[in-house]
Amino acid sequence: MRNRKYTTRRQVPRRLYPAGSFMGRFPAGVCLRSVPNGYVRSDLQSGSVIYSHEPKVMRVPKRMDPQPLLDAIVSVDCTTEQERSSSNRFWSSLLAAHFPQMDIVPLLLDDEGSDGEGRVSSVLRYFDDSLSVSLAGDQLVFRTESEYPGWNTLRSRVGNVLSAASESIGGSFSVTRITMRYLNFFEGIREVSRIVRFDSGTQHGLTPDRSYFRFRTDSEPGTRPGYDITAADHVRPLGGEKEGVVLDLSTWADSIATGRQLEGISDRIVHYLDWLHNYEKSLFVSVMQEEILEGMVQEWEEVLDE
């Protein structure tokens, strides 16, 4: 039996966009781009990634008005070294203590059926008015359910759940990957080139009804985050009437922390959450047109990339 890899990267666009939309249908390629903090080259076909990195201070947005953020997702891959049934009971009990409501939602899997389409399973979703977390095996997918509450609030709630898990099962708890995904929507903008900057090597294309661009790299454990950036125009989120440009930013890091590494596993996890959040904001700055940033960012801050 094939191992199934639960994914939120295909699940999330299905909620936001109708079938046949632009999301999730781009080929891989080669990216040659100078991105924040010295990332030099990513060759996706050969799998090679060359880094040139020196920690430095990053200038990132602290407050934006208007706020383009449409959806915020934090996905955490973790292991508990428990049997599947015991692991499910553990997570269900823990999440029920943090969220008052629960339901069952469909989830698209990476493996394909005989018709070539992804298989659909179901997952448990625990939620309240502002945040939800879906449980798929040992993957937790946190997602804002209303207006973005601000990073401090989101980080605190994610961190509280992970800290509770670490305290409950100790050294058998490991976090193997954290992924952050921000979907930004720019209403009324008709061309993606008005929002983002195209560099040499950026993968881009044109279809009869929209244009898009994409570039990405992978994450080498213990080095730097991986990222995946996609933008497209003539998009109507949630099947609504408002049309504009969507900028989809994802970044992730592997080999985060294990209960055996150090006593302060909770602090280590929170550090990675902050690090990825700031890196995501630096990616946002690196791809945006300067005039758009000038009209949107009301306050900047300097953060250390480490």
3-state secondary structure the chain: CCCCCECCCCHHHHHHCCCCCCCCCCCCCEEEEEEHHHEEEEECCCCEEEECCCCCEEEEEEEECCCCEEEEEEEEEEECCCCHHHHHHHHHHHHHHHCCEEEEEEEEEEEECCCCCEEEEEEEEEECCCEEEEEECCEEEEEECCCCCCHHHHHHHHHHHHHHHHHHHHHHCEEEEEEEEEEEEEECCCCHHHCECCCCCCEEEECCCCEEEEEEECCCCCCCCEEEEEEEEEECHHHCCCCEEEEEEEEEEEEEEECCCCCCHHHHHHHHHHHHHHHHHHHHHHHECHHHHHHHEEEEEEEECC
pLDDT in tens, 252-305: 988 776 655 445 667 788 888 999 999 999 999 999 999 999 999 999 999 887
Q: For 11-33, give one letter per residue: b (16+ CB within 10 A) or e.
A: bbbbebbeeebbbeebeeeebeb
**Measured between alpha carbons, how far apart are the two ends of the chain, in Å?**
41
| CA angle centred on 229, ends 56 and 148, rounded to 5° | 80
Q: Where are the chain's structural domains? A: 28-304
pTM score above 0.85? no
pLDDT in tens, 110-146: 555 444 555 667 889 999 999 999 998 889 999 999 8
Determine if the peptide bond prior to 66 is cis (ω within 30°): yes
CA distance 25 to 159: 33
Contact between 143 and 127 (Cβ < 8 Å): no
**Bigger pLDDT: 125 vs 198:** 125
Split at pLDDT 50, 70, 90, the class of 39 is: very low
Given this model, what pLDDT does residue 223 score?
62
Would you state the structure tokens that stand for residue 264, as one six-digit string? Answer: 């302060």
Over pLDDT 70: what percentage of the chain?
69
| Type of residue at 103 | D
